[in-house]
Amino acid sequence: MPPQPAQSPASRAKVAGVVLFYLFAALSMVMANKWVLNDTKAPLFFLTTQLFIAVCLFLIADTLRMLPDRLTFDTKVCKGLVPMVGLSVLGLSLSNYTLKYVDASVYQVARGLVLPFTVGVSGAILHTRPSLRILFACAIVTSGFFCGVFLDRIPMSLMGVGFGIASSTVTATHSVVIKQSLDVVNKSTILLSWYTNLLSIFVLAPIVFLVEGTHVMKLLFDVEELNHEPGKMSPLRTFVVGSLITGVVGFMMSLASLLSIKVTSPITHMVSSAVRGVAASLLGMWLFSEVVSAGRAASIAIILGGSVYYTWVKHLETEAAKEGYDRVPMNDLERGQKPPPE
């Protein structure tokens, strides 16, 4: 069989477009979430509404044949995605609570232990052995987290930090499980996102009823929720508008992740994530009048620097492993030659 021609790399314009799309979607998601969470006492109901809107958009896009894979619903697939959906619901819920109790500008600091936890969970579950340079990158990120939490003159909410650490732990586990979950949906990231959004609604609905039922009823039916200060939206209108924005952006994030994986390299993706972190801090200062002190700025810089260094090291190690594999000599059977007679 003749060798397949190598796939030509994406153009600079296409890469730039995907990166900008990813940055816009990610920043819009954080800022809109923070805007609503500042006013609502029902963050889980807010999350459920986001997921419902995203599911509706998935169905519309599927009807218009806009997705690369057709949407399906298979009970066997649902059973295979139970760990993935459980971790996704828990991770999103903890992320919302983290963002509710900390400033948007330091949200990434509160969740700064995602990288070290991911390396640790991968080692425990997948039995991988990180190199010394990987461990050094994790140490840099960890030092940035402690710098922002304990050494800054502006105290950070301990409850927010607690939710951030819990969220980091779940996200790290989720990043390992997602690789196994992709096998259940034939490596389709669109189908994985579709099933995760859909099944998460069924998981969250009873939890919202038990935990936030009173707040939801007050939000939807209390006349006081329609009152507002001059120049500001009412809590109900803020919730509705914020839900629509984040629901649409959540759907866009699914597409952005798919495009980012296909078009950009890991280093480009990490650099765009670093830019997103800096932009989030600036937007937090502008939109919510948050204060970014020198300590917080240093913490963000250290975490981003450690993350970029980690991505660079992983890239080098991956390329070295590929070269080592290519240089392994083939045996006679692999060359198609007959083995010598016994």
pLDDT of amino acid 60: 93
What is the predicted pLDDT for the residue at 12?
66
274: CB partners within 8 A, 6+ apart: 304, 307, 308
The pLDDT of residue 305: 86
Distance CA 111, CA 156 (A): 12
Q: Residue 80 carries which side chain, given as an amino acid letter?
A: G
Q: What is the pLDDT of residue 338?
A: 47
Give, rounded to a whole angstrom, the gap between the first and last alpha carbons of the chain. Answer: 31
Q: Which residue has the tokens 């920043």?
A: 27
The predicted pLDDT at position 166 comes to: 93
Q: How crowded is the C-beta side of 296, counted as CA atoms within 13 Å?
A: 24
Q: Please give the pLDDT value at position 263.
A: 59
Burial of 342 (0-12, 13-18, 19+ CB in 10 A): exposed
Residues 248, 302: Cα–Cα separation, whole Å: 32
How far apart (Å, rounded) are the C-alpha atoms in residues 2 and 156?
Answer: 61
Q: Are 242 and 36 in contact (CB under 8 A)?
A: yes
Model pLDDT, residue 38: 85
The kind and range of the H/E element at 245 are: helix 235-263
What does the pLDDT profile of the chain (342 residues) look like in tens digits?
Answer: 444 444 455 566 766 777 777 778 778 888 888 888 888 888 999 999 999 999 999 999 999 988 888 888 888 899 999 988 999 899 889 988 988 898 887 888 888 888 888 888 888 887 778 889 999 999 999 998 998 888 877 888 889 899 999 988 988 888 778 777 888 888 888 888 899 999 999 999 999 999 888 888 888 887 665 666 666 777 788 888 889 988 888 888 766 665 665 555 555 555 566 566 667 767 777 777 777 788 888 888 888 888 888 888 887 887 787 776 555 554 544 444 444 444
Determine the Cα angle at 113 with ends 173 and 167, to 5°. 55
DSSP characters over 29-41: HHHHHHHHHTT-S
